[in-house]
Amino acid sequence: MRPVLITGGAGFIGSEAVRQLVSDGEAVVNLDKLTYAGNLDSLTSVAVAPGYCFERADVCDAAAVAALFDRHRPRAVVHLAAESHVDRSIDGSAEFIRTNIVGTHVVLEESLRYWRALPPADRERFRVLHVSTDEVFGSLGTTGAFTEHSSYDPRSPYSASKAGSDHLVRAWHHTYGLPVLISNCSNNYGSHQFPEKLIPLMIIKASSCEALPVYGAGDNVRDWLHVSDHVRALRVILERGRPGESYNIGGGAELRNIEVVERICDLVDELSPSTEHRPRRQLIRFVEDRPGHDFRYAMDSAKIQRELGWAPRETFDTGLRKTVEWYLANATWWQRIRSGKYRGERLGLGTEPGDDTSSSG
């Protein structure tokens, strides 16, 4: 069987995709540069599995990407390689433009070259799935949800770079006929997530009895999607989605950030009770908001549910409990990260990683 080529397969969502596919007997080629957020520790369970191959390469290196296509002859591409943290994009946008726009251009060009040379039957089956974000749509008010027809209105260097890559993908379909698919997802959470993001950062800080910094008043609203549900959706889109179409993926779990942090505190109190810092809600500290912080995101997933039969299996309560349990049981995984360059400092106010400031995720 021809493999699925996953770019960014050592990252949070990518490693979940690799683990799911390999566990189900699929052949997978994992292309990853291993930046700060790429972690092969997340793939130890499949590292020696039959049909799995890791290739360290930069998605912006056209020669390297072309060589991987020619060597492995994939049946499909899932393009996940991206710089993904809003706060880091505020502190330094250049790498986001390079990876998210230039890298996507390389993937499209090499996919097109490879696809055009395939035999007719393989050309008919080949797909490129580009994984994007709800942040390309901007910010919502107190009601409504983003649909596949929502206008693009990115507000940060990160979301602008992802919006640009989405437009490239659509252009390569309409101009060249490349069989592409686009997914836009809400906020992911789950095991193996780099601890600069809100949920893992709060779990780790709460378990360590450190201050829990929350932006503003914690009133910003996000729709939370468990990473396992997200990857199941990607697999359904890859196998049954219509080329040229986009699909929104949401968890149907809208919560204010402060509510998320409070639930984490309560779960850590329950699962790790032996500390004088209980209740851990007393560790919450409100800090200055980040620039241009979007108020609310929410995704309308009716299309993927109606047309492809996908629906999330995890509620936020079940998914959050599993996530907290994983971080508490796998301290070695995140302690290696904290012993390196990233130690939970705040990003997104024009400071550089390593400055001795707090972080609000």
Catalytic positions: 134-135, 158
What is the 3-class SS of 92-154, one letter each residue?
CCHHHHHHHHHHHHHHHHHHHHHHHCCCHHHHHHCEEEEEEEHHHHCCCCCCCCECCCCCCCC
Whether the CB-CB separation of 265 and 204 falls below 8 Å is answered with no
Q: Are strands 254-256 and 221-226 parallel, antiparallel or unpaired?
A: antiparallel
In terms of Cα–Cα distance, which of 100, 130, 128 is closest to 112? Answer: 128
Distances (CA, A) of 90 to 103, 140, 338: 20, 21, 22
Q: How far is residue 115's CA from residue 159's CA, in Å, rounded to a whole number?
A: 29
Q: How far is residue 273's CA from residue 14's CA, in Å, rounded to a whole number?
A: 33
